[in-house]
Chain A
Amino acid sequence: QEQLQESGPGLVKPSETLSLTCTVSGGSITNHYWSWIRQPPGKGLEWIGYIYYTGSTNYNPSLKSRVTISADTSKNQFSLNLRSVTAADTAVYYCARETNNWLDPWGQGTLVTVSS
């Protein structure tokens, strides 16, 4: 079974860019779709977007203007960049594999706090 691990800074200043990486082990990122999802503290889940290993992407329209997801097949990783962050972007960020439109498995998640 594949395992996913998110990594990146836990604290980002307002107006800056949030950057996270998801490393996939136990399998290859090729031939799959890979998603980012976030969960503000005490709240529900929000889909951010996905990337196919070829680089094709699809983003949540509510975040599209600020989001870029990229993939590096040589490192078996995919990444999230979220620009111009505010306190409302404080959340636990998860990466997950998408198969036939469901998400499985998920990474353990990483908390990113936006604060000066």
Chain B
Amino acid sequence: QSVLTQPPSVSGAPGQRVIISCTGSSSNIGAGYNVHWYQQLPGTAPKLLISANTNRPSGVPDRFSGSKSGTSASLAITGLQSEDEADYYCQSYDSSLSAWVFGGGTKLTVL
């Protein structure tokens, strides 16, 4: 299993708000390392969605937001749209493993 734990799936109706969690430990998120989020649309490469916990790169809608607290981080998506259907991954650094680590990924379904 992954060092960073994400729910395998979440779902919501168009217009609703969903939250995807990313739970780590004292050797990664809890140690103060930043969390980054990626969106992977079907059949495509991952794309940076949120950098350094809360920052949206240019071109990312403000419907996407990130937060971090303690040993966890979260990605919130408001005003769900059908084009948001994708897999979402969190990423951080783990000092015990001396490696960049990803969460297992969360599949978002827009009902």
Point out residues on A near B: beta carbons under 8 Å: 35, 44-47, 58, 60-62, 94, 100-109
Contact = CB atoms under 8 A, between A and B. Distances in A.
B111 interface: no
Contact of B34 (A35, A101, A105): A101
Contacts of B34: 100-102
B68 interface: no
Interface string B93-105: 1000111111111
Contacts of A44: 2, 89, 102-105
Contacts of A35: 100
Contacts of A94: 45-46
Contacts, number: 60
Interface residues of B, number: 25
A46 B103 CA distance: 9
Contacts of B51: 100, 102, 104
Contact of B99 (A47, A103, A105, A107): A47
Given A44-B89, A44-B104, A100-B52, A106 B99 contact: no
Contacts of A105: 48
Nearest to A103: B48
B63 interface: no
A106 B45 contact: yes
A107 B46 CA distance: 9
A58 B48 CA distance: 22
Contacts of B98: 58, 61
Contacts of A61: 97-99
A47 B100 contact: yes
B48 A104 contact: yes
B47 interface: yes
Contact of B91 (A58, A102, A108): A102
